[in-house]
Each structure stands twice: as C-alpha cells, then as structure tokens.
Chain A
Amino acid sequence: MHFIFSNEVVLLFDFWSVHSPAGMALSVLVVLFLAVLYESIKVGKAKLLYWAVVSMSIPASQLTEETDQDSSGSDSPPVSTTRLRWLFCHFGQSVIHVLQVVIGYFMMLAVMSYNTWIFFGVILGSAVGYYLAYPLLSMV
C-alpha cells in the first residue's frame, strides 16, 4: 500500500465514488472543510466548557453571599437548578465530543484511501482550521 496520485477514489461510502478531476477537486474541498470543522470543534468544546463554568460560577458566588446572611434552609432550590443546568450543558458537551470522535475517525479513513490529493486536503484543512480557530481560544 502506498500513496498514489489518482483521479479515481471511493471515499468512505458506496455512493461517494470519484472518477473525474472535477469530482476529485470537489472531494478534496469537502475533506478540507471536514478537517476545518474538526479543528474548530476542538476549540469550540473548550470554549463551551469555559463559558459554562463562568456562567455557573456567577450564581455560585451569589449563593455564598446569600447563605452568609440567611439561614441554611434556603440552600436546596438554587443548588438543584444549577445541577440541572450543568446536566444539560454537560450532555451538550458529550454530543459535541461524539461528533468530534466521529469526524476524527472519518478523516483517518479518508487518509487511509491512500490518495495523495485527499491526503493533501486533510493536511491543508487541518492547517487552515488550526490557523483560524486557535486564536479564538485566547479571546474571551
């Protein structure tokens, strides 16, 4: 098995068979977009977690101020709503994680087709995705 330059490839699914240069160019663009999406999902998951932690901690600080003044009886309702919000947020995070895992595996299988154009598309897409997405990580 070795890398070949070819205009014919069958990629991932039975219906995705490419025979012409135009089809190959389109496939490379799709794979590129997939790689960009993968990198941005990685950044998006981290940003979502950070945003969730920030939004969760603001009611928590208010909660500590309240319990200093009131008695400990008013503790349970705010805690349960926070827990429920955290559950939903974490469930959303898990869905995004599954999407990231699946897209990562699809990219691995695309590279496994051993077509050099597709490989370049994956590499270029990863580079473009990293370039576009990672500066957003340090922005608040």
Chain B
Amino acid sequence: MPRRRAAFRQDELSHGCSAGRGLGAGEGRVEVLRGRRRRRESIWKFPFLFWKRLSLDLLRLKLSKEALTNHQVTSYSSADSTFPAKVDHSHHKGTSHMAYNSTTVPSHHHPTTSASHSHGEGMHNMMMHMTFYFGFKNVELLFSGLVINTAGEMAGAFVAVFLLAMFYEGLKIARESLLRKSQVSIRYNSMPVPGPNGTILMETHKTVGQQMLSFPHLLQTVLHIIQVVISYFLMLIFMTYNGYLCIAVAAGAGTGYFLFSWKKAVVVDITEHCH
C-alpha cells in the first residue's frame, strides 16, 4: 500500500494520472529504506537538543530583558563561554546559527561580524512595510536603482512583474515536458493491482533515468537555476507588501498556469492515461 501511495504522490501532483513513474526496484528500495531509517533516528538526537537549548535560552533572554538589564546580562554572558562551543559543535546541523548570534547582541560580549551584520540589517528593515498598502510613491523594487515614483512607472512595473510570473509558470511546465521528452533507458515493471468488479489488472510502471553528463541533464540544471532565481525574485517582490505588485504576481501566476498548463493537460489526457 505505501508503494502505491508514493507513486500516486509523485504523479498526481504533476500529471494527475495514476501511471507510475520511478518505481523500478520497488522491493529493493523498501529494504534499503528500512535499514537507513534505523541509522537516521540516532542522528536526530543532536538537533533536538540544540533546539531545546536554543528555545530555553531565548526564553531566558526574554525574562532578562524584562528585569534590570545590567545585572542579568553579566550573569548571562558568563554562561556564554560554554554556549559558543555547543553552537559550533552542532553548527553544521543547526540552521539558525545566525539568528542565535544576533540574540547575543544585547550582551555586547560577542564582537563577531555576523552580529554587526545582522544589526545593520535590522536598521535597514525598519523602513520596510509590514502590512499591505496601495501606493506608488517611493517604492523600491529588488534593486537599488529601481525606484517607482509615478503612476506610469507603477503601471510599467505591474506589466513587468505580470510577465515575470507568467514566464515562471511557463518555465515550470517547459522543464517538465523537456524532462519527459528526454527520458532514456526506460524500464518496465508490471505489478498486479485489484481492479473494479474484483478483477485483477496488470499495471505497468516505467522507471526512467538520465545520464549525468548528458546535454538534457545540463540543460535541466541551468533551467532549474533560472527557476530558483526567478522564484526568489517573485518572493522578494511579494515581500514589498505593495498591493499592486502582489496582485500582479498572483494574476501573472494564474494566467501563466492557464495558458501553459492547458497544453500539458491535454497531452496527459491522450498519451499517459491508461485506457
């Protein structure tokens, strides 16, 4: 049952069809995963301890801020000498190392570059909007030279963001179709599944693979990088909290999905659905 669910999860989200993809050595993979899971459980102990210590120290910091600051801070900074060792030990496992360094800024006993960098970042972010607003005066868009000051510039930015979101959706669909076209070494694996009326159907799954240094895979990698960068740009544009630009992102995504996924859905209908 879990194998079938995995096949469905990979495909339903992209093709909406129950034809499986990537289930070649089904049994072998389950065995390997079982062995791997046992080893994985012991590794999770360390990040859990790290997060527990982090949350306890954040709580302690909050309490110390409410009381008289100087007295509490010196007692906290004396305990600091043990803490960096713990942080450095699990540095490659913890993800918010920078966040933790910035919480030690009030104690002023950590003259690290990361602390001063986050302090500088905090000063800049105070000028950011934190709620949605509609306006076109002095809107900074992604880069320092791009500042919107008039309605005409806002209209141009609206169109540009709309086209960017549409291009992002198109790029996603294009990557999928390119991947499907460039499949090599297709392996077939049949397994019996219960069909309607108590009959047994033979469902055929294909595994597909790609060579690592082949041109299709390199092209996929380049397109993936472009997709990641554009998705971060769209996220940053949405983060300006400007109502017009957010509407442009949402409308562009919807229009792009409508235009580009239309063809993909028709292709799925004819070629991949098992009749």
Residues on A facing B (Cβ under 8 Å): 1-5, 10, 12-14, 16, 42, 46-47, 49-50, 52-54, 56-57, 60-61, 86, 90-91, 93-95, 97-98, 101-102, 105, 108-109, 112-113, 116, 134-135, 137-138
Is B268 within 8 A of A53, CB to CB? Answer: yes
Shortest distance in angstroms between B66's beta carbon and chain A's nearest beta carbon? 12
Q: Which residue of A lies closest to B254 (CB)?
A: A98
Q: Which residue of A lies closest to B274 (CB)?
A: A57
- Taking A46-B12, A53-B17, A138-B4 as contacts, is the C-beta distance between A86 and B266 under 8 angstroms? yes
Is B5 within 8 A of A94, CB to CB? Answer: no
Q: Which residue of A lies closest to B9 (CB)?
A: A137
Verify if B191 is at the interface (C-beta below 8 Å from A).
no
Task: Report the Cα distance A54→B269, complex, angstroms.
Answer: 9
Verify if B96 is at the interface (C-beta below 8 Å from A).
yes
For the A-B complex with A10-B130, A97-B253 known, give 19 more contacts whose Cβ atoms are closer than 8 Å.
Answer: A2-B102, A14-B132, A16-B131, A47-B12, A50-B17, A53-B273, A56-B269, A86-B265, A90-B262, A93-B261, A97-B258, A98-B254, A101-B254, A102-B250, A105-B250, A112-B239, A113-B130, A134-B5, A138-B5
Task: Report the Cα distance A52→B262, complex, angstroms.
Answer: 13
Cβ 8 A contact of B9, one of A56, A90, A98, A134: A134
Interface of A, helix, strand, loop or mixed by DSSP: helix
Shortest distance in angstroms between A7's beta carbon and chain B's nearest beta carbon? 11
Task: Report the Cα distance A42→B16, complex, angstroms.
Answer: 12
Is B132 within 8 A of A94, CB to CB? Answer: no
Is A91 within 8 A of B96, CB to CB? Answer: no
B99 / chain A contacts, CB cutoff of 8 Å: 2-3
Is B246 within 8 A of A13, CB to CB? Answer: no
Shortest distance in angstroms between A105's beta carbon and chain B's nearest beta carbon? 5
A-B contact pairs, 25 of them (CB 8 A): A1-B121, A2-B99, A4-B58, A10-B130, A46-B16, A53-B17, A53-B268, A53-B269, A53-B273, A90-B261, A90-B262, A90-B265, A94-B258, A97-B261, A98-B251, A101-B254, A105-B246, A105-B249, A108-B235, A109-B241, A116-B58, A134-B5, A137-B5, A137-B12, A138-B9
Verify if B257 is at the interface (C-beta below 8 Å from A).
yes
**B116-145 interface bits toward A, Cβ cutoff 8 Å, 1 = contact, 0 = none:** 001001100100001111000000000000
B262 / chain A contacts, CB cutoff of 8 Å: 90
Cβ 8 A contact of B131, one of A13, A42, A95, A105: A13
Task: Report the Cα distance A12→B12, complex, angstroms.
Answer: 32
Verify if B238 is at the interface (C-beta below 8 Å from A).
yes
Is B258 within 8 A of A2, CB to CB? Answer: no
- Taking A86-B266, A105-B249 as contacts, is the C-beta distance between A49 and B257 under 8 angstroms? no
Task: Report the Cα distance A90→B122, complex, angstroms.
Answer: 44
Is B253 within 8 A of A101, CB to CB? Answer: yes
B16 / chain A contacts, CB cutoff of 8 Å: 46, 49-50, 52-53
Task: Report the Cα distance A138→B6, complex, angstroms.
Answer: 9
